[in-house]
Amino acid sequence: MARLAGIRTGTAVSPEARAGIRDHTDRMTTDAAPARAETTHGRLGLAQGVALYIASVLGTGLLVLPGLAAEVAGPASLVSVAIVILLAVPLAGTFAVLSARYPDPCGVASYVRRALGGTAARATGYWFYFGVAAGFPVLAILGGEYITAVTGADRIAVPIIAFAILVPPFAVNMLGLRTAGWVQFVLTGLLIGIVVLVVSAALPASDASRFTPFLPYGWGGVGTAVSLFVWAFAGWEVGTHISGEFRDPRRTIPAATAIALVVTGVAYLLLQVATVGVLGDAAGDSAVPLLALADAVAPGTGPIIVGAVAGIVIVGVANSYLAAFGKLGASLAVTGDLPRWLAPGAEAGGVPRRALLLTFAIALAYTAIAFAAGGDTGAFILIHTSNMVAIYTAGMIAALLILPRGTAGWWMALVAAILSAGLLVLAGANLLPAALLAAAAIAVTAWRRLRRSR
């Protein structure tokens, strides 16, 4: 205040004071929009929230993971699913507590800003916006591969289908999150209905003999299957970016999270039982295990069912993630971490069309690069997952610092922080893309300080 008084009275102000004023102004401008986001809420209800949460978690893992897990762990893959369901509780619970307490379109980056400052928040935002976005070509190419396999089309059609898959979710989100939420509600309802249909047809066809021996690959196989299913239960951070769009975040977000946890857990567990019981040792033989399962219990109609599942999953996951990308991009522009031109739509109820267009361009570029590299998505999966691990770790550390110590949310954050740190160690050299984005965030801070000093 003394520095500001010096300006009003015309008193000479030192260079250090002027730098302090600029610092103060910068903090005010970068924090103003998130503060407003906490006090204004949108129009999403419980049904739409549940649908968006389920879609972000019950994603592409549904198509491939049950077969892969059965291949590496046999019948004991059921134990792996149960373990991961339990591990998902503290992570999902912590994000639910944070979202309900601090609804903000910047999501995890806003919690990191509160706890660790602007540079760490900027890095967290970049990890999601540019790093997690590497998952778009994985979605698109997997969808193209699955649909061509199901329909028997020539694989030359994969690029066309992949790029076409990206268009509908972007178009829907350009109409607003409320429209996207209702579209997601329909998609999620169809997805759950088809999963129930496949499981209900498969369970009576299960053979008890396929569950013995229960531990053919030992507990090491169970551990490998756990590592596979960890990624199936990622996606809880998506809800943090749309938390301000709920009518009543404090009540709706915890309820939506709890319902989504139960639904996704039961779906994966029952699907794993059906996969082992029907396919047994052959579960991992097919590149499209869900197709093999559906064909085994419903010859002829199985491919049609799986094609519908693949399309719904791919479009649904992209739709739910885009809701987060749009809000985050606009919010990063408000805080000055992206060009200000992208800022419109950050407010609750707003439609971040400019940020969505940038996200669309990033998704197209990543997908084009993937096809130029021969259609191999391995590198993009690593970029996506390593950035997710970095986000989880930063988010859980922030939660420990800003949540009231000793509360249920704080204890969940502690457990989730330990688990995230373990995943961070396992990621190892795969964290290079996240490290480069963090370096970019630090460079922005250095550039700002240099500009202020001048």
Selected residue with higher pLDDT from 224 and 330:
330
Q: What is the pLDDT of residue 185?
A: 65
Confidence class for position 27, pLDDT limits 50, 70, 90: very low
Q: What is the pLDDT of residue 387?
A: 87
Whether pLDDT at 305 is above 90: no
Work out the percent of the chain whose per-residue pLDDT is above 90: 10
Q: What is the pLDDT of residue 226?
A: 76
Selected residue with higher pLDDT from 157 and 43:
157
Q: What is the pLDDT of residue 232?
A: 65
Q: Which residues, other chains included, contact 348 with Cβ-Cβ below 8 Å and sequence gap of 6+?
A: 37, 40, 41, 42, 105, 244, 245
Confidence class for position 17, pLDDT limits 50, 70, 90: very low
pLDDT digits (tens, 9 = 90+) for 58-99: 766 676 677 777 777 888 888 888 888 887 888 888 988 888
Highest mean pLDDT among 83-92, 278-287, 438-447: 438-447
What is the pTM for the complete model shown?
Answer: 0.75
Confidence class for position 120, pLDDT limits 50, 70, 90: very high
Q: What is the pLDDT of residue 12?
A: 41
Interval 173-202 mean pLDDT: 70
Backbone phi, psi, residue 348, to 5°: -60, 130
Interval 163-188 mean pLDDT: 74
- Give buried/exposed letters for 436-447 (b at 16+ CB in 10 A, else e): ebbeebeebeee
pLDDT digits (tens, 9 = 90+) for 240-275: 767 777 777 788 888 888 888 888 888 888 888 888
Closest CA to 363 of 56, 145, 130, 105: 130
Interval 152-176 mean pLDDT: 82
- Give buried/exposed letters for 20-59 (b at 16+ CB in 10 A, else e): bbeeeeeeeebbebbeebbeebbebbbbbbbbbbbbbbbb
CATH for 42-453 is: 1.20.1740.10
Q: What is the pLDDT of residue 268?
A: 84
Whether pLDDT at 235 is above 60: yes
Work out the percent of the chain whose per-residue pLDDT is above 70: 78
Question: Is residue 4 helix, strand or coil?
Answer: helix
Highest mean pLDDT among 52-56, 62-66, 117-121: 117-121
Q: Measured between alpha carbons, how far is 320 from 331 in angstroms, rounded to an integer?
A: 17
Q: What is the pLDDT of residue 14?
A: 39
First to last CA, the chain: 23
Confidence class for position 38, pLDDT limits 50, 70, 90: very low
pLDDT digits (tens, 9 = 90+) for 125-141: 999 899 888 888 888 88
Q: What is the pLDDT of residue 286?
A: 60
For the chain, the farthest-separated pair of C-alpha atoms sits apart, in whole angstroms, at 89
Output the average pLDDT for the chain: 76
Selected residue with higher pLDDT from 173 and 58:
173
Whether pLDDT at 146 is above 70: yes
- Total Cβ atoms within 10 A of residue 9: 7
Q: Which residues, other chains included, contact 141 with Cβ-Cβ below 8 Å and sequence gap of 6+?
A: 158, 162, 367, 370, 371, 375, 377
Q: What is the pLDDT of residue 300?
A: 66
Secondary-structure percent of the chain, ordered helix, strand, coil, rounded to 5: 85, 0, 15
pLDDT digits (tens, 9 = 90+) for 402-436: 999 888 889 999 998 988 887 787 777 778 889 99
Interval 305-332 mean pLDDT: 77
Interval 221-235 mean pLDDT: 71
Q: What is the pLDDT of residue 25?
A: 36
Q: What is the pLDDT of residue 442?
A: 92
Q: What is the pLDDT of residue 398?
A: 93
